[in-house]
Amino acid sequence: MAERSYHHGNLREALLDAALERLEAAGSAGLSLRELARDVGVSHAAPRQHFADKQALLDALTIRGLQLMREKFETALPPGEMSFPDRLTAFATAYVEFATTRPELLAVVFARKDREGATELQLASRQTFELPSAMIAQAQADGIIDNSDPDRVAMAVLVVLHGLAITAQAGMLGDRRIDTVIAGTVETLINGLKPRKHSTP
């Protein structure tokens, strides 16, 4: 295949696009810089101008995945008046849709973002979850949900939704409609997060 001519900066994006296609078709085990070079029609050495090794490629894919998640969350949680249950349902729906339609990309994101020393990935992760984190913080400030430990509450929400996404992806919902399951999960989650009334002795 004749080597294609890329303008400055385009080769990196072309390689990432090809890597994302390969990832979602065959998982991370199917990725190699040599195969990507063949996919986009450049010399086998050309990808190393942008990615020193496979780890660098996976890190770049993680950031791409986080950016795509953030875009989905921004669409689901636009500015404006919306009740906390509605916002949480919208976020849950967006998260489950992403997890079930792009499971290989999600797996790469969660496998790599907390790696020691991966500060760029951790920054991208914080930016991705800014909107849902702000949503939870606002609900706590409004007294809608428990505010004793913001990090614990945020992790509880993420763990429940991630578990729901995995359950849906594995086909374990039976004949239940996914939107019905999401709505029921959110309702149960909110009920569990409601502030507790402490009785006085």
The CATH number of the domain holding residue 79 is 1.10.357.10
- Do 116 and 28 have their domain in common? no
- Do 111 and 85 have their domain in common? yes
Give me the CATH number covering residue 42.
Answer: 1.10.10.60
At residue 196, φ and ψ (nearest 5 deg) are -90, 140
- Do 79 and 166 have their domain in common? yes
Range of the domain at 48: 1-52
Sequence-separated (6 or more) residues with CB below 8 Å from residue 68: 98, 102, 105
pLDDT of 63 reads 94
- Do 84 and 136 have their domain in common? yes
- Could you read off the pLDDT tens digit of each residue along the chain, which spans 201 residues? 444 555 545 899 999 999 999 999 988 888 999 999 999 988 889 989 899 999 899 999 999 999 999 999 999 999 888 999 999 999 999 999 999 999 999 999 888 666 677 788 889 999 999 999 999 999 999 999 988 788 888 888 889 999 999 898 888 999 999 999 999 999 999 998 888 765 455
Q: Does residue 20 sit within a domain?
A: yes
pLDDT of 199 reads 47
pLDDT of 198 reads 56
DSSP 141-176: HTTSS--S-HHHHHHHHHHHHHHHHHHHHTTTTTT-
Answer yes or no: are the C-beta atoms of 32 and 54 closer than 8 Å.
yes
pLDDT of 6 reads 53
Q: At 58, is the secondary structure helix, strand, or coil? A: helix
C-alpha–C-alpha distance, residues 4 and 11, integer Å:
9
Q: Does residue 104 sit within a domain?
A: yes
pLDDT of 113 reads 67
Q: Does residue 33 sit within a domain?
A: yes
Quote the number of domains for the chain.
Answer: 2
Question: What's the token pair of residue 90?
Answer: 């919208």
Q: Does residue 198 sit within a domain?
A: no
Is the whole-model pTM more than 0.75? yes
